[in-house]
Structure 1
Amino acid sequence: MESSIISVTKQEQAKTAIFLSAVLIVLLVGSVYISQLVFQEISKSFNIDILDARFVFSLSCFFYAISFFIYGPLSDRVSTKLLVLFGCIGTIICLGISGVVDSFKIYLFIMSLTGFFAASVPAALFAYTAKNTVREKLPQAMGVMISASIIGIIFSRSIVAMMTDFWSWQVAFIIYACFIIFACLFIPFGMKQATHNSSNVSIVRTYCDAAKLLLNKKVIIFLMVGFLLFFVYLGLSSFLTFYLKGAPFYLSSTVLGWLNFAGMSAVIGATITGKLSQSISEKKLLIICLLCVSASIGAIGYSSNLFCIALGIFSLFLFVFGIQPIVISMLNQIVPHNSRGAISSLYLLSCLAGGSVGTYILGIVYENLSWSRLNLACIILTLVNVALAMLGMKLIKK
């Protein structure tokens, strides 16, 4: 009787921890993306060119990505709870400061720090999930974690865009920081069991072992798949904002916020492919999803009908994030079990670095060529990604 009560209590604690972890991932991942739909308003506040406003996202995303390599191996040595609190407090302070500064250079620096602090939360929780899930359930478990990240991206962009139209982007950022403060109040109750690795391996050796993973050809190829995927996805998403706010659409930030909710399909994609991978070849699913990403880009870039564009956004999110649990699962099968935390962080780093670089380079394409040429470049890169994925699969077979 007593053992059954203890078992029920542990299950309830686990459910509470999972729910709180999902909420924290939603808010902290979202804090990196909150500027994407309000570039125009930011450019007006600092009296800069609207294309220069993209650096706000590029830098925050870049530091967010790089920080995964710092926090990934560190999560093997430091309590998950400590890393989560560190990231939350740092992000709250940065968002608060960003709403009151009047220098664009200082603002860029603060938003870069936001990316640095925010990364500690998903890095800690992704690594923990990867190391504590059996292989058969790993794609599904990672699908749940990725779903929380996706909701964070969509929720943050949409809610901040709407609040910006109602008040201002400065007020929206400060209110968003208050959301994180509220979530932090539940950390002592929802995360009672801190994860700590008592291994005698030095922190330097931990980072060296993580770096050695980059010597594996199969690892490099699948990291490149993630890099190119997010190069296209985040680069295209950033300039879709400019495209839809201009002729012939002239959409407001609020309408863009509602349109952004089409991206909720990403949750479906991550969940479905996580489950399908248990009955269908992961390799086939990966190729199909990459080809569908290319078709989605075509629907977004070459249609003048808002419904078709919304449908393209829906399918783009569906397949981009449907790919994530597949690739993460394949990477975790390539590396040793004790490197699962590091490889998950390296993959997220490659994806987000791709998004940051893509926003910068595709900005040059958009500025000097045209929207249609930008879309053509994205389609070509996606087809290159298909070839990379096929090469990686051949190496796995050997």
Structure 2
Amino acid sequence: MKSTIIVEKKQEQSTTSILVSAVLIVLLVGSVYISQLIFQEISTSFNIDILNARSIFSLSCFCYAISFFIYGPLSDKVSTRLLVAFGSFGTIVCLGIASFVQSFNIYLVIMSLIGFFAASVPAALFAYTAKNTPNEKLPQAMGIMISASTVGIIFSRSIVAMMTDYWSWQIAFLIYASLIICACLFIPIGIKKTSNNSFHTSITSTYLSAAKLLFNQTVLIFLIIGFLLFFVYLGLFSLLTIYLKGSPFYLSSTILGWLNFAGISAVIGSIITSKLSQFITKGNLLIICLVLVSVSVVTIGYSTNLLCIALGIFGLFLFVFGLQPIVISLLNQIVPVNSRGAISSLYLLSCLAGGSIGTYLLGIFYENFDWDGVIFTCIILTIINIAITLLGIKLLKKQQKKQN
């Protein structure tokens, strides 16, 4: 009888931990993306050109990407509670300060710091979930964490856009900070105390081992695939906000927020491709998804009907995030087991760096060649990505033959 009670209690704690972790990931990952649909309102507040406002997201996303790789090794050495509390507190303070600053340059620094602080939470909680979930429940638990990241992107952009229309972006930021505060109240019951782990290798050695992976030609190619994919996806989506707020659409932030919910297909995409990979080779599935990414870009770029644009957004999220489990799976086949954590961090870094740089560079194209120039560039980059993918698959097959 006693043993039954103990088992049930353990399962209940595990469920609570997953739920609290998922909510924290939704809010903290989302904090990096809150500016994407409100560039116009922010540019008006600081009296700057709307195209200059895109640097807010670009810098925040870049700092988030770099910081995630920094926090990755620390998550094995530092208490999970400490990392989560540190990141949450820093993000809350930055959101509060951002709501009151008058200088755009200071605002840029604060928003970049949000990317730095927010990264510690998913880095710590992904590692915590992997260590504290029973093996039979691990795939489901990690799927929830990945889905939480995606939902965070969609939720934050939509809810902040709607609150900005109703009140102001400053009040929206303060309300968002209060949501994080509420979530942090559950940290003591949702995240168990963890002691520092001791390893024979230092953090410096961990970073050096990760850096050595960049000298593997096949690894480098798949990192470039992620870079170009997010260059197109995040860069295009950031400028789509500016495009839809202008002629001939003149959409409000609230409508953009509702339109953004089409991105919930990202969760569906990762599930579908995971199932399809059992019947279709990963290489072929990768090519098919990239071709469909191109189709989605064309649909978004050349449609004059909002329904068609919504379908394009649905497809873009579906296939971009449907690609993720395939690429990560292929990368894990390339590297040794003890490097799988490092390769995941490197891949995330390459993706988010691509999105950050894409937002900035495509903004220059938008300024000089208008919307058609952006879409044409995205289509060309997607075609190049397909060619690089074919090369990567060929090299992967050669590497696998050598290993056999």
Per the normalisation by structure 1, the TM-score is 0.95
Do residues 275 (structure 1) and 275 (structure 2) align?
Answer: yes
Q: Unpaired runs of 5+ in structure 2? A: 399-404
Contact 1:25 1:149 in 2 (8 A): yes
Do residues 291 (structure 1) and 294 (structure 2) align?
Answer: no
TM superposition shift of 1:338: 2.1
Letter in 1 for 2:233: Y
Letter in 2 for 1:350: S
Contact 1:30 1:149 in 2 (8 A): yes
**Which segment drifts farther, 196-205 or 261-270?**
196-205
2:402 counterpart residue number: none
> Is the partner of 1:198 in helix, strand or coil?
coil
**Which segment drifts farther, 121-130 or 238-247?**
121-130
Contact 2:18 2:129 in 1 (8 A): no
1:54 counterpart residue number: 54
Letter in 2 for 1:205: S
Matches within 5 A, 1:140-155: 142-155=142-155
Do residues 41 (structure 1) and 44 (structure 2) align?
Answer: no
1:325 counterpart residue number: 325
Report Cα offsets for 1:311-363 as digits up to 9, x if no partner: 00011011111111111122222222222222111111111100000000000
1:215 counterpart residue number: 215
> Is the partner of 2:32 in helix, strand or coil?
helix
**Which segment drifts farther, 286-295 or 73-82?**
73-82
Cα distance between partner residues in 2 of 1:226 and 1:79: 30
Cα distance between partner residues in 1 of 2:330 and 2:130: 12
Structure 1's 147 and 378: CA in aligned 2 closer, same or farther, altered over 3 A? Answer: same
1:183 counterpart residue number: 183
TM superposition shift of 1:11: 1.6
Report Cα offsets for 1:44-88 as digits up to 9, x if no partner: 101111111111111101101111221112222222222111111
TM superposition shift of 1:273: 1.8
Cα distance between partner residues in 2 of 1:127 and 1:220: 24
Matches within 5 A, 1:156-175: 156-175=156-175
2:119 counterpart residue number: 119
Matches within 5 A, 1:217-236: 217-236=217-236
2:360 counterpart residue number: 360
Structure 1's 4 and 138: CA in aligned 2 closer, same or farther, altered over 3 A? Answer: closer
> Is the partner of 2:152 in helix, strand or coil?
helix
Pairs aligned (count): 398
TM superposition shift of 1:182: 0.5
Per the normalisation by structure 2, the TM-score is 0.94
1:202 counterpart residue number: 202
**Structure 1 segments (4+ residues) deviating >6 Å:** 130-140
> Is the partner of 1:369 in helix, strand or coil?
helix
Report Cα offsets for 1:89-141 as digits up to 9, x if no partner: 11111011100111101000000000000011112233455678999998766
Cα distance between partner residues in 2 of 1:126 and 1:195: 17
Cα distance between partner residues in 1 of 2:34 and 2:191: 26
> Is the partner of 1:370 in helix, strand or coil?
helix
Do residues 21 (structure 1) and 21 (structure 2) align?
Answer: yes
Letter in 2 for 1:230: F
1:96 counterpart residue number: 96
